[in-house]
C-alpha cells in the first residue's frame, strides 16, 4: 500500500498532484476534534450557521475561475464548461441555506387542553461525507451545506481523483472563520475509509458513488444502526413520444447522454423513440453528435473531453464492442474524431441502434459517451422497457401532451421524473433513487429529514 495519494490527470496521464494519506494519529485527532465541536455547533443559532455557510460559498464563487482549471486537470471536464459546476454549487447551497429555517422549525400540533406538544429536529452529530470525482463540487455540496445547517459537524473524504476539492472547501470554511472541528477533511485509503465508517464517533454517512461502493458502506456499517444515505448508479432512460418536438428532444437527450463524457449518474444511457418519428430522431441525433469536438479539455474549443482514466474508456469500449458482436449497429465513425485512440482516455461518442435488453449496453451502467436507441410502438411498450432495469434514478419523457406525460411518469420506477428536460437537479426537489440507485434523500426541505432526528416534547401543564 502506497503512503501517498497520486492524482493522474486524464489530459495527458501526467502526475498532477500528490498528497500523503492520513495516518492513524491524524484520523483519531480529526475525529476527536469533531466530537469536541459537536455540541457547541449543535447549539449554535441557525442564523449564525447560515452566515458561516454563506461566507464559505462566497469564497468558492470568488475563486471560480481557478477552481474551473483544477476541475479540468483533475477529472477532464472541458474548460468551457468547468466553471458551471461552481454556478451549480452556489444555486444548491444558497437554496438549502434559505430552506433551513422552515425545514428545521419545530412541528407544532393542534392545541390539546392541558398539554403542550411539539416535535423538534435535532442534529445527528458527525456526518461522514464520501464524495466522487465526476461532479466533485456538486455531489459534495449536496451533503455538506445541509449537514452543517442542520447542526451536524462534517468530515469529508473526497475522491483520490479530485483531492483539491476537499482542500478548497476547507479553505473556504477557514476564510469564513468556521469554528475548529466543525468541518474537516481527510485523504484516506480504502481500508482507512472502512475503519472510519466503523468508528463509533460517526453518526451519519452520505455516500455518492458506485453500487459496489454502496455495498461496501452497508457491509462496513452493518449492525451499527447508522443513518446512511446512498446515491448510487443509474441507467437512466428517455422516451420520445410521437408528438414530441424532435429538435428539442434531440438537443436535450444528446446533451444528457454525452455531457461530461457521459460520466453522470443521472446521464441518459438509453433512449426509446416512437416508431413514427424514429428515423427522423436518429438522423438528427447522429448529425448533432458528429459536430462534437473531442480533444484536450484545456482547449476552449473542446466540447468532449477524455474519460477520467484509460481503464474507464476501455470498459466503455468493451461494452460497445460486445454489443456490436451481438448485432448492434454503430452510427458514429470513431476515425472522424482524431483524438480517439484505443488505450487512451480519449474516445469518440457513439450511438448504437438494433440494441435490445439482452445486451449489457442497455441494462448495465456504462458511465461513458455512448447511448443505445430503440424504436417502440406505444407508450405501454416504452413504460415496460424503461422499468426493465435494476436502477431507478431519473427518467424523462418528451411530449407536447403534459397530461399524457404525467400519466407515464406515474407508472415509472424512478426517483425523479422529467418532461421535456433531463440530467438536471433542482435543489427545491428531493434527490433520491429507487432500487439499486440508492436510498435516502438529499436537497429540498425533505433532505433535512435524513440529517436530523425527531425529538418529541409532551408537556402536561395542568389537570
Task: Say how far apart CA 336 and CA 338 lie, in whole Å.
Answer: 6
What are residue 12's phi and psi, to 5 degrees?
-140, 10
**Strand pairing class (370-376; 350-353):** parallel
CA 159 to chain CA centroid, Å, is 13
Contact between 193 and 205 (Cβ < 8 Å): no
Task: Say how far apart CA 110 and CA 407 lie, in whole Å.
Answer: 36
- For every residue of 300-362, DSSP letters joined together read TT-SB---SSHHHHHHHHHHHHHHHHTT-EE-S-GGGSTT--TTSS----EEEES--TTSGGG
Task: Say how far apart CA 425 and CA 208 lie, in whole Å.
Answer: 15
Rg of the chain (C-alpha set): 23
Contact between 415 and 229 (Cβ < 8 Å): no
Which residue in the list 231, 354, 380, 403 is annotated as catalytic?
A: 231
What burial letters (b/e) apply to 367-376, b meaning 16+ CB within 10 Å? bbbbbbbbbb
Which one, of 359, 282, 368, lies nearest residue 328 by Cα?
359
Burial of 429 per CB tally in 10 Å (0-12, 13-18, 19+): middle
Task: Say how far apart CA 182 and CA 152 lie, in whole Å.
Answer: 8
Contact between 294 and 337 (Cβ < 8 Å): yes
Q: Would you tell me how many other CB atoms lie within 10 Å of the CB of residue 294? A: 23
Which one, of 141, 121, 117, lies nearest residue 131 by Cα?
141
231 carries an active-site annotation: yes
Q: At 456, list the grid cell.
A: 418529541
163-175 and 64-75 helices, crossing angle to 10°:
160
- For every residue of 123-177, DSSP letters joined together read E-SEEEEE--SSSHHHHHHHHHHHHHHTT-EEEEE--TT-HHHHHHHHHHHHHTT
Torsion angle of the four alpha carbons 451, 90, 132, 235, in this order, in degrees rounded to the nearest 10: 90
Q: Which long-range contacts (CB under 8 A, 24 or more apart) does 443-446 make?
A: 443/92, 443/95, 443/96, 443/142, 443/146, 444/99, 445/99, 445/102, 445/103
Active site residues: 231
Amino acid at each position: 500500500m502506497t503512503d501517498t495519494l497520486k492524482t493522474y490527470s486524464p489530459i495527458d496521464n501526467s502526475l498532477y498532484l500528490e498528497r500523503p494519506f492520513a495516518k492513524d494519529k491524524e484520523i483519531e485527532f480529526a475525529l476527536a476534534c469533531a466530537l469536541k465541536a459537536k455540541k457547541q455547533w449543535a447549539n449554535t443559532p441557525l442564523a449564525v450557521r447560515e452566515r458561516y455557510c454563506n461566507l464559505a460559498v462566497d469564497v468558492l464563487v470568488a475563486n471560480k475561475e481557478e477552481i474551473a482549471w483544477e476541475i479540468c486537470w483533475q477529472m477532464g471536464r472541458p474548460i468551457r464548461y468547468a466553471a458551471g459546476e461552481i454556478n451549480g454549487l452556489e444555486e444548491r447551497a444558497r437554496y438549502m441555506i434559505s430552506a433551513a429555517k422552515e425545514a428545521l422549525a419545530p412541528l407544532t400540533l393542534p392545541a390539546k387542553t392541558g398539554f403542550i406538544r411539539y416535535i423538534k429536529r435535532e442534529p445527528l452529530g458527525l456526518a461522514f461525507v464520501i464524495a466522487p470525482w465526476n461532479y466533485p463540487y456538486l455531489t459534495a455540496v449536496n451533503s455538506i451545506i445541509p449537514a452543517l445547517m442542520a447542526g451536524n459537524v462534517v468530515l469529508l473524504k473526497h475522491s483520490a481523483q479530485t483531492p483539491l476539492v476537499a482542500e478548497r472547501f476547507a479553505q473556504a470554511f477557514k476564510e469564513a472563520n468556521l469554528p475548529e472541528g466543525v468541518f474537516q477533511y481527510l485523504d484516506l485509503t480504502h481500508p482507512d475509509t472502512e475503519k472510519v465508517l466503523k468508528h463509533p464517533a460517526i453518526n451519519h454517512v452520505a455516500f455518492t458513488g458506485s453500487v459496489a461502493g454502496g455495498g461496501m458502506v452497508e457491509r462496513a456499517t452493518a449492525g451499527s444502526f447508522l443513518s446512511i444515505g446512498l446515491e448510487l448508479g443509474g441507467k437512466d432512460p428517455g422516451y420520445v413520444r410521437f408528438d414530441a418536438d424532435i429538435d428539442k428532444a434531440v438537443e436535450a437527450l444528446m446533451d444528457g447522454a454525452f455531457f461530461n463524457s457521459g460520466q453522470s449518474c443521472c446521464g441518459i444511457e438509453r433512449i426509446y423513440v416512437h416508431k413514427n418519428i424514429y428515423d427522423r430522431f436518429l438522423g438528427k441525433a447522429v448529425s448533432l453528435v458528429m459536430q462534437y469536438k473531442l480533444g484536450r479539455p484545456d482547449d476552449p474549443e473542446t466540447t468532449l473531453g477524455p474519460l477520467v482514466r484509460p481503464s474507464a474508456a476501455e470498459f466503455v469500449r468493451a461494452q460497445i464492442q460486445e454489443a456490436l458482436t451481438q448485432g448492434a449497429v454503430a452510427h458514429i465513425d470513431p476515425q472522424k474524431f482524431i483524438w480517439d485512440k484505443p488505450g487512451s482516455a480519449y474516445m469518440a461518442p457513439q450511438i448504437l441502434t438494433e440494441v435490445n435488453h439482452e445486451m449489457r449496453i442497455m441494462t448495465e451502467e456504462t458511465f461513458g459517451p455512448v447511448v443505445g436507441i430503440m424504436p417502440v410502438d406505444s407508450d405501454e411498450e416504452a413504460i415496460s422497457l424503461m422499468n426493465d432495469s435494476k436502477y431507478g434514478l431519473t427518467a424523462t419523457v418528451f411530449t407536447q401532451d403534459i397530461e399524457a406525460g404525467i400519466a407515464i411518469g406515474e407508472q415509472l420506477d424512478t426517483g425523479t421524473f422529467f418532461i421535456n428536460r433531463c440530467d438536471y437537479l433542482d435543489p427545491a426537489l428531493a434527490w433520491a433513487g429507487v432500487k439499486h440507485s440508492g436510498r435516502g434523500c438529499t436537497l429540498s426541505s425533505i433532505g433535512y429529514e435524513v440529517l436530523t432526528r425527531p425529538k418529541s416534547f409532551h408537556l402536561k401543564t395542568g389537570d
